Amino acid sequence: MAIKQEIQEKKLFFIKIVSDSMEPLLNVGSKYTVVPVNLNQLKQFDIILFWQNDRPNAHFYWGKHLAGNIKGHMSRSLKYPSDVDLPIKDEYILGIIPIKLKLRHKIIFLWRYYFSKV
């Protein structure tokens, strides 16, 4: 995958956000830095850039996907945190967006996660 190779070679990549799934943390039209990631060091609330549906996506890392036959990782959006994203295979994780997450963003996420099903 060309994007992943460029991130790994240059150690830096810029991505323009085209979806509102992570607002207000990542805003549509804004550009963000992407850096390579060691998959063994990912932790919950890291913002990962991954390839899905023929385009790059950025969501929170949620943990390893352990159910079923598919090995991979789980992610959640800020807009719809209770929705279950498809598992992401290792090779489709492109990097991370190194943003220091503010407490208010975690509160927004957790509020939506627990109360959006109501």
Q: What CATH number should be reported for the domain holding residue 95?
A: 2.10.109.10
Question: Of all residues in the chain, what percent carry a pLDDT higher than 70?
Answer: 97
- Per-residue pLDDT of 57-83, as tens digits, reads 999 999 998 777 778 999 999 888 888
pTM for the whole structure:
0.85
Q: Note whether 67 and 26 are within 8 A (CB).
A: no
* Mean pLDDT score, 38-54: 93
Quote the number of domains for the chain.
1
Residue where the block lists tokens 């890291």:
46
The mean predicted confidence, pLDDT, of the chain is 88
In the predicted model, what is the mean pLDDT of residues 49-55?
91
pLDDT at 118 over 60: no
Query: In which residue are the tokens 């850096």 written?
Result: 35
Do the Cβ atoms of 62 and 14 come closer than 8 Å?
Answer: no
Query: Which domain, by its residues, includes 101?
Result: 2-115
